[in-house]
Amino acid sequence: MSLRYALIALLTGRPMTGYDISKSFSRSVSHVWHAPDSQIYPELNRMERDGLLISVEVPWGKKGTKKEYHVTDTGLADFRAWMESPLVPQRQRDPAYLKAAYFDFADPKAVREQLRQQRTYWEEQLRMLEGTRATLVDRSHPTLAARLAKLDEREAELAVRFKVYAYDGLIAHARTELAWIADGFALLDELYDS
């Protein structure tokens, strides 16, 4: 259900075609809620059917058209209701931690390789998150800039500050993962290289 709210959040900036939504989603919302195109397009159709969005045919190419999605008043009301409802914490489901609990079944070389892959992933994530945060702070992020153009200065300040707050949490999480991975390498050294 959160995918629909992620899509509404994205569309609060400006109306977009499915293609534009997919591109913008991967540059912003997917950092907090991942969804492939195979989930996005059907959800847009369901949201339109449910009255949360309307679509307008817009020219595309020489003779074609595309659907451009707009959030309806019902969609905004539903989004606000969701935003104000209590958040139910989700239980952990991370295969990296499940595997770590049973590394004793694996060859230490395989464990090191898995830790190296995880480290590479989280280093890349951290760079991307820090770069995105910088574009939020200077207000140059394209998705944010489109939304800010419609807001007064106080509303813009709130939008920027809360987005930066979310990215600060994501950055802290990435750093925690990297520290945990470093601890894994240290544990392997202690258990197998001494």
Over the stretch 111-130, which tens digit does the pLDDT of each residue have?
A: 999 999 999 999 999 999 99
State yes or no: pLDDT of 194 exceeds 70. no
Share of the chain above pLDDT 70, in %: 98
List the domain boundaries for the chain.
2-84, 95-192
What rounded mean pLDDT belongs to the chain?
92
CATH topology of domain 2-84: Arc Repressor Mutant, subunit A (1.10.10)
CB burial class (10 A; 0-12, 13-18, 19+) of residue 44? buried
Give the predicted TM-score (pTM) of the model: 0.85
Over the stretch 48-58, which tens digit does the pLDDT of each residue have?
A: 999 999 999 98
